[in-house]
């Protein structure tokens, strides 16, 4: 097919990219770009690192540093960088149908194919999906679905949603209200109502003398106490990340989720798994709740849904909730880009890569166990490492001032950031949340690359211990 615009000359108003120096990029960035979660005055003094390209598990900056990405971007590039399959699909879809909406009695093939495919890879009973552009919007959508569902059941009083402190559910007003990040709440004089926060199941920091099992049970039972306080007739849902991601890769004790599920069932409260990080293979299962052994009613998805190649989020709705929602009349919620055709087509190709390429099975049976073992062996003798939690290709490394007593640093954020600065200088992306160091590499990482990632991580933790006079 000939395209009448094909011969239109390309517009090069700006200098070609390669012509700019790092310093020029940094100056332009500082002059015009406001970064998320950043102190811009401080950042602009030192200048941002400029990432120019990426391939597999490696990033390359404008200084030609080769950096191993231990975080898969922001926990999202599950199939790794530079997958031509995904680029081709996006290109083809943009030419065929770059955009159309799914409002007003209309649909299109990519969104239908994605919905069908998601019903295959999600657990039994998930047959319906609502789309958005991000995890935050996914959780906004969760709130809307919970309220609409209960209203349809004649129980409009069930408005309260219970979540946890140090949980992360996004940065829209609703996402951040659901989340339990105190440093975000401090800057939010207006928050969404009818949200209550429980204590988190973070045994290392808060478990005191209790066994992890007893502590996990006690933290889960806070849900029952809160339901009784609010009245079960006023509580619509409980939401949690199967393991807390941004909060520090905190895996709850084994007693936690079964008890949460028991309580939700007892009081007829919807159980929502925020799978934005845990979904699409991170733990070696398709979804982290499968690894942790519970059955949610709603699933929030984003990040790994498209491996970050294009923005897309979704909410999976279990049959019982879908039945109620679909019978409840107009659902007055939607986004211009709900089910965007390019994003949906890329998500389809991404899920097929994960499934047909055997990537998730490889994480479960091969690279995941290898990563967990190698990491524990490398850090076993570090005086600074108190515990390592994780499964598949995600891990949280707890730093401690004293292994025996689980003593934490006076300035936990200072400690984590100090270690992260070593990583930065050593061309390793490892994130810090307070005094936990986090790893979550692309799911396609090979064993030699895991060796490199782990040895760099151990080296940087070792440098930190040395700075503290520990080793």
Ligand X SMILES: *Cc1c(COP(=O)(O)O)cnc(C)c1O
Contact between 170 and ligand X per CB under 6 A = yes
Contact between 180 and ligand X per CB under 6 A = no
Closer Cβ to ligand X, 207 or 245, answer by number = 245
Q: Which stretch binds ligand X (CB under 6 A): 87-95, 135-143, 390-398, 422-430?
A: 135-143
Minimum distance of ligand X from residue 347's CB (angstroms): 14
Contact between 245 and ligand X per CB under 6 A = yes
Closer Cβ to ligand X, 122 or 134, answer by number = 134
Contact between 276 and ligand X per CB under 6 A = yes
Contact between 440 and ligand X per CB under 6 A = no
Where in 46-65 is the site for ligand X (CB under 6 A)? none
Q: Are 25 and 50 in contact (CB under 8 A)?
A: yes
Closer Cβ to ligand X, 5 or 37, answer by number = 37
Minimum distance of ligand X from residue 277's CB (angstroms): 4
Contact between 270 and ligand X per CB under 6 A = no
Minimum distance of ligand X from residue 385's CB (angstroms): 24
Minimum distance of ligand X from residue 298's CB (angstroms): 13
Contact between 140 and ligand X per CB under 6 A = no
Residues of 175-198 as b/e, b for ≥16 C-beta within 10 angstroms? bbbbbbbeebeeeeeeebebbbbb
Contact between 390 and ligand X per CB under 6 A = no
Q: CB-based contacts of 109: which residues, under 8 Å, 6+ apart?
A: 341
Contact between 274 and ligand X per CB under 6 A = yes
- Output the six-digit token pair for 269: 């409260």
Minimum distance of ligand X from residue 311's CB (angstroms): 7
Q: Which stretch binds ligand X (CB under 6 A): 241-249, 254-262, 291-299, 448-456?
A: 241-249
Contact between 136 and ligand X per CB under 6 A = yes
Where in 294-313 is the site for ligand X (CB under 6 A)? 302
In the bound complex, which residue of the shown chain has the CB atom lying closest to ligand X? 135
Contact between 168 and ligand X per CB under 6 A = yes
Whole-angstrom Cα distance, residue 338 to residue 470? 52
Minimum distance of ligand X from residue 365's CB (angstroms): 25
Minimum distance of ligand X from residue 281's CB (angstroms): 15
Closer Cβ to ligand X, 117 or 181, answer by number = 181
Contact between 279 and ligand X per CB under 6 A = no
What's the start-to-end Cα distance of the chain, in Å?
A: 68
Contact between 135 and ligand X per CB under 6 A = yes
- Cα 203 from chain centroid? 21
Minimum distance of ligand X from residue 246's CB (angstroms): 5
Closer Cβ to ligand X, 62 or 134, answer by number = 134
Contact between 437 and ligand X per CB under 6 A = no
Minimum distance of ligand X from residue 179's CB (angstroms): 8
Minimum distance of ligand X from residue 454's CB (angstroms): 23
Minimum distance of ligand X from residue 63's CB (angstroms): 28
Closer Cβ to ligand X, 134 or 166, answer by number = 134
Closer Cβ to ligand X, 278 or 462, answer by number = 278
- Distances in Å between the alpha carbon of 409 and those of 114, 210, 248, 249, 345? 47, 21, 16, 18, 47
Residues of 85-112 as b/e, b for ≥16 C-beta within 10 angstroms? ebeebbeebeeeeeeebbeeeeebebbe
Contacts 24+ apart (CB under 8 A), 172-176: 172/136, 172/137, 172/139, 172/140, 174/136, 174/139, 174/140, 174/143, 175/135, 175/136, 175/137, 175/139, 175/140, 176/136
* The only residue of 102, 134, 338, 372 in contact with ligand X, by rule CB under 6 A: 134
Contact between 73 and ligand X per CB under 6 A = no
Closer Cβ to ligand X, 115 or 134, answer by number = 134
By CB under 6 A, name the binding residues for ligand X: 134-136, 139, 168-170, 241, 245-246, 274, 276-277, 302
């Amino acid at each position: 097919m000939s395209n009448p615009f094909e011969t239109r000359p390309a517009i090069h108003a700006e200098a070609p990219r390669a012509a700019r120096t790092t310093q020029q990029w940094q100056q332009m960035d500082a002059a015009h770009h406001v970064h998320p979660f950043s102190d811009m005055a401080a950042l602009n003094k030192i200048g941002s690192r400029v990432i120019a390209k990426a391939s597999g598990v490696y990033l390359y900056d404008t200084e030609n540093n080769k950096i191993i990405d231990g975080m898969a971007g922001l926990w999202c590039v599950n199939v790794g960088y530079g997958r031509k399959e995904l680029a081709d699909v996006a290109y083809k879809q943009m030419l065929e149908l770059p955009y159309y909406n799914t409002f007003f009695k209309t649909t299109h093939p990519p969104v239908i194919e994605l919905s069908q495919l998601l019903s295959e890879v999600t657990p039994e009973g998930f047959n319906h999906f609502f789309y958005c552009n991000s995890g935050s919007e996914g959780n906004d959508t969760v709130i809307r679905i919970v309220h609409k569902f209960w209203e349809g059941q004649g129980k409009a009083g069930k408005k309260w949603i219970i979540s946890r402190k140090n949980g992360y559910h996004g940065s829209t007003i609703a996402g951040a209200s659901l989340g339990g990040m105190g440093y975000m709440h401090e800057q939010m004089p207006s928050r969404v109502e009818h949200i209550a926060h429980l204590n988190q199941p973070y045994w290392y920091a808060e478990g005191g003398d209790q066994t992890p099992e007893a502590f996990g049970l006690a933290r889960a039972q806070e849900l029952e106490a809160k339901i009784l306080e609010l009245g079960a007739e006023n509580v619509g849902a409980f939401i949690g990340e199967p393991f807390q991601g941004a909060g520090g890769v905190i895996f709850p004790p084994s007693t936690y989720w079964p008890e949460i599920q028991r309580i939700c069932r007892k009081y007829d409260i919807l159980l929502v798994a925020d799978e934005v990080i845990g979904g699409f293979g991170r733990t070696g299962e398709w979804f982290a709740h499968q690894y942790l052994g519970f059955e949610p009613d709603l699933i929030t998805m984003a990040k790994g849904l498209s491996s970050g190649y294009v923005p897309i989020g979704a909410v999976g709705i279990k049959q019982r909730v879908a039945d109620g929602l679909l019978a409840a009349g107009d659902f007055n919620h939607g986004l211009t880009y709900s089910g965007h055709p390019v994003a949906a087509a890329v998500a389809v190709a991404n899920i097929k890569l994960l499934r047909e390429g055997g990537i998730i099975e490889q994480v479960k049976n091969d690279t995941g166990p290898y990563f967990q073992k190698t990491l524990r062996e490398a850090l076993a003798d570090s005086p600074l490492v108190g515990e390592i939690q994780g499964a598949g290709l995600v891990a949280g490394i707890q730093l401690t001032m004293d292994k025996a007593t689980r003593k934490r640093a006076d300035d936990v954020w200072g400690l984590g950031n100090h270690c992260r600065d070593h990583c930065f200088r050593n061309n390793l992306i490892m994130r810090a949340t307070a005094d936990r160091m986090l790893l979550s590499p692309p799911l396609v990482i090979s064993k030699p690359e895991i060796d490199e990632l782990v040895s760099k991580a151990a080296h940087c933790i070792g440098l930190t211990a040395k700075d503290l006079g520990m080793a």
